[in-house]
Structure 1
């Protein structure tokens, strides 16, 4: 409970510090004037990403010998996203997803399928970011990344090397990484990763447009993935604070003020939360379905 309080305090503290550091009036003005059309397009993109991620989990679970329907995967993914968006750490929903999927297999396999699906999603974003920075550094003309770009490129390359080395080991983690590498090579996983990543990136871009900032095309594979990766920091609630901080630090690279980055991050956070809200109706739908299934049955003595 204490750790959750710390994570909540970090998110609130980061947002408060960012607003104090920048111009809160300008951030508020951008939020008040947010374009409804672009915001709805962002919501549509994030929703599409959820449907695709649920499908990817179904495919990934199949590789671990777990079989369930797409509707089950979609329902559990929605629940996991809602839980992750309101509870500190961003993993409680995935833990619940693995626990509820254990009925189709043992808990270990269910947990591995969830971890694998999340990792595949992160690898897709990191892979795009690696390609984006490689192009940006070798073919100048876009945002001036200079030293930061080389640091990101080296870190990503190092992660790839470590992953390959671990996959060569004959232990549980090594075998798990071997499975990940095999899944990455499957066309269906590559397709899911590419389209899902594009949806998430467009969702963030649309939030920027909604709040008055146009992110250039060459920054789609560099700046936006960096901001999305900041949301992975577990010391927060739903990525709040870290996402806005990364956007505030990176937006000046494309000629936009830090306040624009904060407004974009806040809008994207709200969109993610709203996109997960349908999960709140799932328990009521389940209860209604159970009521219908028992209606008309004779009472047993």
Structure 2
């Protein structure tokens, strides 16, 4: 563990401590202890569906780049990557390992591109849901009035996303190396996302994965006593979950809880309710990745298995 990782753990602990003492952590813990297990189980199922669908998205994306990944292997690798992402600072080490282990058929460059594009597609879909939700609330408030700072934050996020798109489009103007990298990236994006065969599958999968993720958080909120409408889920939950991509803490712990505590009062709930709902989501998400430990155990046993001596096999043959 380097200095950066140590600082990320420290930031997570500091933020969680500030939230605990500033928001009456005992009240949030009480809500968590009284959570309805049926809604928590429903959230676990939703996150399990998200993992399986995400593995399928990765498999389809990789196939467009010349990789063939069996579905059972894709699911196992995705579970393993989630365990690593949830356990280590940064939140991307598991995905990096997934790319390295899948490099044999098409090379590390294409394997890395498949993983990066697969994850990027999920974040883009989350941004789009957030934008559509904000537009719907603006045109038809339906009881949810967003303050100026929330609309400003949404606008800032969308501008940042647009800036990334423009940066990719114009990267070729910087240098020959940037031009080659930009052309490779654009070619990979077209092959994996924009072809006639890939586009319908990518749209359907990304919408289903995003819906499962948002629904899981809404179920955790319901378990801890807060009912979120579909519109509230589409607007507020993406803002909460997007904090998890910031490489400041371990898997978004602290940032996600702070965002939930700040946004839940907009729907008439308390900050403690937001804190409790986010804690429940984080714990359920962590529990839903436990099959990844089984994958890790199987891989370690397979690596530790003794390799038979060919000469001894030949002597044993009649």
Query: Which deviates more from structure 2 when the two are superposed, residues 114-123 or residues 56-65?
Result: 56-65
Aligned equivalents of 2:242, 2:185: Cα separation in 1: 23
Equivalent in the alignment of 2:101: 100
* Distance in 1 separating the partners of 2:145 and 2:74: 42
Q: What pairs up with 1:32-71 in 2 under 5 angstroms?
A: 32-71=33-72
Specify every segment of 5 or more residues in structure 2 that has no aligned partner in the other structure, as ranges: 173-178
Alignment match, 1:142: 143
Aligned-residue offset at 1:8: 0.5
Distance 2:133 2:296 in 1: 42
Q: Is the 8 A contact 2:80 2:296 kept in 1?
A: no
> 1:159 is matched with which residue?
161
Structure 1 residue 141: deviation in Å? 2.9
Shift of 1:269: 0.6
How far residue 59 of structure 1 moved from its aligned partner, in angstroms, is 0.8
Instruction: Name the CA distance, whole Å, in 2 between partners of 1:181 and 1:244.
Output: 37
Contact in 1 for aligned 2:35/2:224 (Cα 8 Å) = yes
Render the CA deviation track for 1:77-129: whole Å, top value 9, x for unaligned.
11100000010110110111111111122111111111111100101111111
Q: CA deviation at 1:275?
A: 0.7
* TM-score normalised to structure 2 length: 0.87
Match of 2:261 in 1: 248
Distance change >3 Å, CA 33–CA 115, structure 1 → 2: same
TM-superposition CA deviations, 1:148-176 (whole Å, max 9, x none): 22441354145235404632554213541
Shift of 1:220: 1.5
Rounded to whole Å, the distance in 2 between the matches of 1:190 and 1:21 is 41
Distance 1:90-1:165 versus aligned 2 partners, 3 A rule: closer
Alignment RMSD, CA only? 2.3
Which residue is 1:272 aligned to?
A: 285
Determine helix, strand or coil for the equivalent of 2:234: coil
Q: Which residue of 1 aligns with 2:240?
A: 227
Deviation for aligned residue 1:285: 3.0
> How far is the alpha carbon of 1:137 from its aligned partner?
1.4
- Corresponding residue SS for 2:102: helix
Note if contact 2:96-2:112 (Cα within 8 Å) is conserved in structure 1.
Answer: yes
Counterpart of 1:262 (choices 250, 275, 282) is: 275
Task: Please say which of residues 284-293 and 106-115 is displaced more in the overlay.
Answer: 284-293
1:11 equivalenced with 2:15 (yes/no)? no
Deviations 1:26-72 (A, max 9, x none): 11110110110000000000010000000000111122222221112
Deviation string 1:191-215 (CA, Å, 9 cap, x unpaired) is 0000000000010000001111111
